[in-house]
Structure 1
Amino acid sequence: MNAAVPSPPEHPAAARLRLLEAEAEHAPAATAFDLAAQQAAAALGGIGALIHLVDSDPDELRLTASCGLGPNSLETWTKLPSNGLAAPARAVRSGKRVWRDDGIGTPAAGTATVPLPGPQGPVGALTVLTLGRIEPDREQWLFLEAVAAWAAAHTINAPAAGSADRRHQPAGTAELRMNELTVALAEAVTSQDVVRAVQERVLPPFGADGMLVEVIERDRLHILGSTGYSQAFLHAIEGVPLTTHTAATTVLHARSPRFAESADEFLHHFPQLEELVHASGKHAWAVLPLIASGRPIGCCIVSFAHERHFDHEQRALLTALSGLVAQALERARLYDAEHARAQNLQRGLLPRSLPALPAITADARYLPAGQGDEVGGDWYDIIALSGDRVALVAGDVMGHGIAEAATMGRVRTAVRTLADLDLPPDELLAHLSDLVRGFGDDWYATCLYAEYDPVTRLLTFCTAGHPLPLIFQPDGTVRRPEVDPDPPLGAAEPPFRTHELHLPDEALLVLCTDGLVESASRDIDEGLQLLENAVSRALAERNYFRARKEPRPLALGQICDAVMAELLPDRERTGDDAVLLLAHTHSTPADDVASFMLPDDPRASGQARRHVREQLAQWDLAELEMATELLVSELVGNVTRHAPGPCRLRLLRSRTLICEVYDGSPTTPRIRRAAQTDEGGRGLQLVAALSRRWGTRFLAEGKCIWAEQEIPVL
């Protein structure tokens, strides 16, 4: 609730600050001191923090905990004379804050120290070593004192002030389990983790039933998380400009918390918000600014359904709380931003959409890992090849991180480049393995590369350490290739083994990465069986191969979602990225393919032109006759002049008209620059001018020169 009242009294003396609920089981002192040092260093952006305790020898202070400093830097601070000039000694003697613009024996430029309070006086000191020479501001000093008092509650010789008496206080007293909150905030990774920690660790001890966490973005307050408010109320306060006169903006400008113990008290200061107060259903508020690294980053509002009195201790406790939350939230938001950039990078390296091709209908799902702070290197792709063929690819760069995601992009780009050269799968993976090996000895990747030819219905594939595809057939049977994968890219030595499968007229190919089928609780074989079962159920439920009413892309998307939900029901707990690629194959109708053998003599071009005229007339493509005759004549003439043996002409009618000329020569035809006086050498230039695209692919028995022409739309 954006409410405000006059500032509360100053933060009470740290010796009277109670930050730990008396309970039988609590964190060990060493753990508490470590957490206190980490929180203190984070609060001031320091290079490290130290905690000293008064030793059994009253003339010395002993270093008990530290963070951020190496052994050489710590040597100076291990034991300090209690009557010395070091900041911890001065803080213990005076019981006050100490600031020095030096960092004795360390790279620090400043030293900020507060005493650890005890019932009979300071029992130690908390010190933060800063990079700057500017003294901490008021909020930072208050936070350090709150952390120091909390840490002091864990010392054996200095129980928290007033702990004996608190056992007899009423059960309704607002006691915050600060140790649990500190641990939860220290473990929080994302902004939502911080919000959950506040909701679970702050609201119950205070008896609060409402919470708002708002953050500053572009000079406006945006709701990061909430509890106990209606959607209509949240919509009304979302995006409030910082220039608006509300409680949240007021405490952010003043950088100090404010409390309203009743609606009347609140409306006394903000009468223009009467409608919002009634809509909120709350009658008391603690409005806490979130200050991190000396700047406001947002606001935390704890609210109550009934009027509530806040005593000095509760106000101090909530002030300390705001410092803890602010530091955790700033760290979490940095993670959120970095993680979002990494995931955007990774998603940008994946296909934005899958191509619509005559040979297949496809859909895919990619899910990043739900746990951990790194992105992965999983990828997938579908690549159009010549002759209506299509390549299906799934791969995984081993490891997690920005470097792995970037390497995935390089590998995927290399696959597309090599595929455009129409290299066979085994040769393509050999080049790819050389590429990965060139990244360094620690780089490996798995990859499955498969080519599907809709004319022959042949699936040709190679796999480098990657899960094999599953083939679901219309009759309900499932085929699993019984082959052993070659080692991963970067580790394998060519040649890669090539495998072939003859598919029915229609089939569903399923490709995945190990993140979908393998986890700590199941091996990859068990996971592949679960994948097979899940896809089979999804196909049966939709009567997939027999149902014609539902469009294939829509059905495939639904199957993808169903399978991902079944195999990864709780994606927030997954530790690896996961890819699922479904491809429904289609065969080319026999009427759309025409093949002709040609003689090995000058008559071949004339016969090829006659075949073109007859076939195009049969296909009602007479408007392409002249251009196709000229194109085919040049291709066949080139073979007759430069390649031994007979050749073959094949015409394919698809989205384009594809002309293919096969011969027995492995020589690559190249366009050359013909001079004005040359009588030849312009054949391939003419082919390039007449076709949409053209190229060469190599076969075991020779090569195929192909060219595509656009089919006019009637």
Structure 2
Amino acid sequence: MRTGEPLPTVGDVLAALATGLWRWNNDAGLVTLDAEAARLLGLPAEPTTLTEAGVRSRLHPVDWNEIDGIVQLALAEGTLAEARMRVMDEQGRVIRTVRSRSRPTADSQTGEYELLGTLQEVSEQPPGAAARTPVTGDWRRSREAFLLDAGRALAEARSTEEVLRVAAGLSMPGFSPDGLAVFGAEGDRLTIIGHHGHQPGDEGPFSQMSLDTDYPAAEVVRTGRAVYLSTPEDYKARYPASWPLAQRFGRQSWAFLPLTVAGRTMGAWMAAFTYPVSFTPDERSVLTTVARMLAQALSRAGVTESERELTDGLQRSMMPTLGPQIPGMMVAARYVPTGGGLQVGGDWYDMIPLPGGTSRTKSGAGRFALVIGDVQGHDVRAAGLMGQLRIALRAYASEGHRPDAVLSRASRFLYGITNSVTPEDEDADPRFATCLYVEVDPATGMLDIARAGHPDPAIRMADGTVLMRPTAGGLPLGIDPDADYPTTRLALEPAETMLLCTDGLIETGGHDLDTGWRRIRRILEEHDGDMEALADSLVQAVHGPSSHHTTGPLADRREDDIAVLLLCRLGDGCGCGDAVAVVQPPVRRTMVSVAQAEPERVAGARQQLRELLHDWASDDQVDSAVLMTSEMVTNVLVHTDADALLIAEMTGEGGDRRLRVVVTDASDDLPHKRHPGELASSGRGLVLMELLADAWGVDPQGQGKSIWFELYESSAKDPDDPDDPDDSGPSDVPAA
């Protein structure tokens, strides 16, 4: 070309280089080719416009399927879209391989794109490079298998540590980095979340680096665009300030990719190689896909860890530390949430120091209250109501109210806050809560119990016998603002343990109240250990092992929250330690009060006595004891205006024990023996006692009286023993 001649046109230059020009409008579905581009696609060498289907028919189907992914990758990175494509003739034979290089532009509203680029014929890759050619089917199959495995492994990772461990173990097809680092961003600082392939302490210079630093990861976080550095020269030229920091690791190529979730760049991922990598479109596609999966996995792990941290915080704030330790008593508790959500529901327990005064013992340990309850539901609202109700109960108890008054006030409080619906929460239904409130006197072991629709407490006696203690109760809290909650008084003897629990411990795994209670009773009877071990045994029997006192990695089959509260009065044989153990003779005792307005509790008294005598040698004597007890309590309700108090006590060793049952009332009218006719419906109480008891009597008291009888286990007759005399009654009946 001589001086002064005009420069050749772009078309002349492209033609001289055997390079075609093409424009692809994705929105219109049309591809415009110049003469050279048409020739390269096996068409007549003249400008033409084809539909997408027309172009697709000229290209290998595998290569065609890659084009959209390559374009999307280029759009995301702001780079050129490069692809190798095999051109097919009408018989489906490959006639040449072309390389396309184009700059995609996208419509931000529709997402449709337009390509303007070049086509140029290239030679086939040499055999040694087959692993990295984008037109090799084996490479594609390996890549797809790798991405499938990587996606599955990252999806199963539950924590940030697991995600990083999975990322470090990824072996990419044809090229695998030997150095990895995951960067995060906190404010205007770059942080190191984790790394692999480096020595401890290597991350020091890169930690807390300003995002304005001339460093690839900082630029990726700022811009959201990937950075590929194929050679050390590229790194040094683009980032001269930070090159000395990277030079000492001896790497040859680097890829820094954004970790983006929902359009927000949360960090950057670095993949470094000890050998040169050209970062072809296929290699960039693999790295970009892994970065997206890694970002999603890290985001999920972060959410899970944040929820776990929030859950632990809520549990720590809502579940109090039990203490200080009460002289002569021990307390243990467990809280196990359900498997879903924030793992905080409506179950709770509490231990409340009560006001001092005359109730304070010589040891300085005053009365305290144990509370356990369950707000309806397992959602955040249930947890919020539980927190408010727990605070209210603490306030009422600290004011010095008795158990019945505490629950009455708490019921009005809950009714008020759940039935005052505002327009913002008009979809919120009224909620109720069950609750059991126990006021404890450590000096005497006396328990004053008020119950609001909650399961009754259970008592494990010194010899392992377990009794369910029926207590008077009222409606659940929050249903009736004027509900009453009667108080039941029980005595906790030395070496006895009281169990309080929510229904989640009982009605789980297909069990109802009866079968669930039998399972819990068996655990209590068979346990041989301290209180903490017993609490663990109760929880593990339902939901598997736990490594924490309040929560832990339990089985996913949780159906309901669980709260468990145990109170032990220290004594010989309780298993809670011998620091303040009290030696006592073997004794079982139960106490039941039956009010005039509660005749249905007579059946409960009979059941209590049968449970107390569950291992008595003679079934006939057990039936006799139940019959006499029923008669004694019923007579009080029928013939007096007073309430009946039943106390049953069994002492001695097995085979030679004594049962003493005492029924006390406040009436001064003494019973007298009558001779009822055959058709009479009453008058047989004392006659039965004279026939069935080993000893019985009536004792007047200052106010009222007590009627009692005794049975001796050694006096049980064996009807099959011919040497045993047939004597159906006591030889000496004490005078009334």
Q: Which has the higher helix share?
A: 1
Taking structure 1 as the reference length, what is the TM-score of the superposition?
A: 0.48
Q: Bigger radius of gyration, 1 or 2?
A: 2
Which has the bigger relative contact order, CA under 8 A and spacing at least 6?
1
Taking structure 2 as the reference length, what is the TM-score of the superposition?
A: 0.47
